Structure 1
Amino acid sequence: MEQVHELESAIMERANRLAVEYRERAGRSRDNILQEAHARLHLREEREVLLAKSRAERTFRRQVQAHELKLQKEMDHLRWNLVMTVKNQLRERIRLLVKDEKRYLPLLQSLMTSAASDFHRPRLVASFNARDLGLVQPKWAEFAGAASKDKEIILNPTPIDCIGGVIISSEDGRVRFDNTFEGREERLTDRLNQLILERLFPAGTLQDNLGGMR
């Protein structure tokens, strides 16, 4: 009987030790599981934060690019308006110039000389607007002779529409050189626009201002 009690005590003690061992093992497993879960949660949070930052940066870059494109468009519009304003003021200066006969007639003669020099034909035709035609017609022989020594230039009695200047053409009208102010402006439009921009915005002022706003 005593042996039975000893056996039961031994079994109970063993069971208790196993229970404590399994409880400790379960506690360690629980802690490991909690740590792994916490680590996975932390990694997930980090990924979500990084993903959110990436999305925010992409959105910010798109907004900045859209703003820069809008600003560049406004700058281009401003530049074009300023160029057109200067060119309109230039035309007004030319209109004032053509009213000053002492300054304008030598210039008109020079325009005719330079246009006639590009022709290799002995007889040419000169066309003027109505006002200039009235100025040169009374003294045409002298005016044309001083403009070109080696060519005969005939005066076209039909006026043309322009601010000032002259159109020199062959007798048959097939070849012509437009040396009116409008014709010269059209030929020089790219260089004129560039020159105006260089004077208005020296050394890339617009680009510097745009870069400073980023």
Structure 2
Amino acid sequence: MPTTSHRDARLTYEDFLRFPDDGMRHELIDGVHYVTPCPVLRHQQLLGRLHLAIGTFLEGHPEIGQAFLSPLDTVFSPWDVVEPDLMFVAADQLDILTEPNIQGAPALVVEILSPSTRKRDLGIKRELFDRGGVREYWVVDPKARNLTVYRRMPDGSFPNVAQLDADGDVPLTSPVLPGFALSIAKLFA
């Protein structure tokens, strides 16, 4: 894992804007530059199904907020700029939307694991989303065929509150998307 020896050596969003447009996903976490290759087919299938389900739900409930797909910079701080696979910005926080990016924590962030991102998505990105104030974080694991939910609790903690399996019958629901329900079996079909 890349590290920096001095906080002064950290890269910033200004540095980030100078990265090449090379088809790779560039992110900064605590000023450290991470590069991820473009996603594989299964990743995109799962992302497409999730976005379609949330988008269809929001068509009937536009007052709840807006959903976005990567690539879209999400700026948590000058040293923390990520491109989650899917983001949902709730109606009470639409002021974080700017033309070039999202300036702050979306209500919901979704990441679909891949071999090259698994450790980062479950480690430093989950920590970033916790300290950044994300209300809910969904982690989709194509290999294990499950979806893990981390949720902001009233005491401010951000625990894993559910792991939903493709062979289970418990639908995915969320207080961030009131009324939304998704069959995990259908997601992984």
With the length of structure 1 as denominator, give the TM-score of the two structures. Answer: 0.24
The structure in which a higher percent of residues are helix is 1
With the length of structure 2 as denominator, give the TM-score of the two structures. Answer: 0.26
The structure in which a higher percent of residues are strand is 2
